[in-house]
Structure 1
């Protein structure tokens, strides 16, 4: 079944909170942080089973900040996912102020399977934000990141 057909996504609270903790640590030095959610799909359900913190380099330029995951790490991640029969469903990262999907986020996504989510957490994740306070996007068949209401079908993300 295609990832885009997953309409009920279950995320353990520990995955969410551990991700916030990592992103917050990057934010304390005014850098973006990124984490990934991986798991397994069964029909229209997807269960996140792992938080993956890729090796990343924070970059600060006059134009802004970003987290860079280089090619060797991307290759390592792909092999890890394959060997463990996992699928990547979401990338989650911070912005220094408001949450939105930037042009850089559109062009340099790690989660690139149709149906993947990209979640942007505001204010360097200084607190544990509810998903409704984040910007949540889903990749469509045309390669466009569309903002979604993660609490409504067909994009329901439930923290368990």
Structure 2
């Protein structure tokens, strides 16, 4: 018995809490689908660091056709970074979230390791109302987010229609954006914000001495003069 494979069908791809449909053909290369997804979601920085994943966290092989990769009609795929190392307009930060963030960073880093959190909120709003603390390995000089955690996080965002608005992490001394920070943000869309807190967040909960930057459309980071250019307290 011969199994019939649909020549043309739709799959769904989610990126940072937003899901969109894509038409594919069975003989089309996965690389072509990946490229279309990156263009559709307007990813501007380091697109080569993004790949397509199934919901179980397995990588969709880019050097195969849609058929050979085993993609099915209406399958939901995750467009997400291979690894994470570490919108224009004002975002509204929920009350006490800054203090919660500092407590999380301190408890994890213990004054000797870098730590990271992600500020999230409803995809269609400018509100930041939650702080996500990823599973990660860490040292005094950096961190790397757990791959399985990242897959599950991406799925939760899509299901809840939420997005990562800001990534926040610590440095041991002065706050600045390192080469790794530049290259591996969790979201690579223009307008995404990155905040670096100095001294392992051991100081008072404040944006004082923090490095605050916004990703530009050309993929470069623009340092802001103050966090008030990007975030206000709700």
CA shift digits 1:108-128 (9 cap, x unpaired): 211322211000000000023
Which of 129, 135, 149 is residue 49 of structure 1 equivalent to?
A: 129
d(CA) in 2 for partners of 1:30, 1:86: 32
Q: Which moved more, 1:71-80 or 1:89-98?
A: 71-80
Deviation at 1:159, TM superposition (A): 2.1
Structure 1 or 2: larger helix share?
1
- Secondary structure at 2:106 match in 1: helix
Larger RCO of the pair (alpha carbons < 8 Å, separation 6+):
1
TM-score by length of 2: 0.59
Mapping of residues 25-64 of structure 1, within 5 Å: 25-40=107-122, 42=124, 46-60=126-140
Distance in 1 (alpha carbons) for counterparts of 2:216 and 2:160: 26
**Counterpart check, 1:84 vs 2:160:** yes
Alignment of 1:6-155 (within 5 A): 7-40=89-122, 42=124, 46-60=126-140, 65-148=141-224, 149-152=226-229, 155=230
1:39-98, Cα deviation, whole Å (9 max, x unpaired): 1255xx6101211111111135xxxx1121022111111111111110111000000000
Residue 26 of structure 1, CA deviation: 2.8
**How far apart are the structure 2 equivalents of 1:49 and 1:113?**
20
1:29 CA drift (Å): 4.9
Say which is worse superposed, 96-105 or 69-78, in terms of deviation. Answer: 69-78
In 2 relative to 1, CA 150–41 (structure 1 residues): closer, same or farther, beyond 3 Å? farther
TM-aligned CA deviation for residue 135 of structure 1: 0.3
TM-score normalised to structure 1 length: 0.84
Q: Greater CA radius of gyration, 1 or 2? A: 2
- Number of corresponding residues: 149
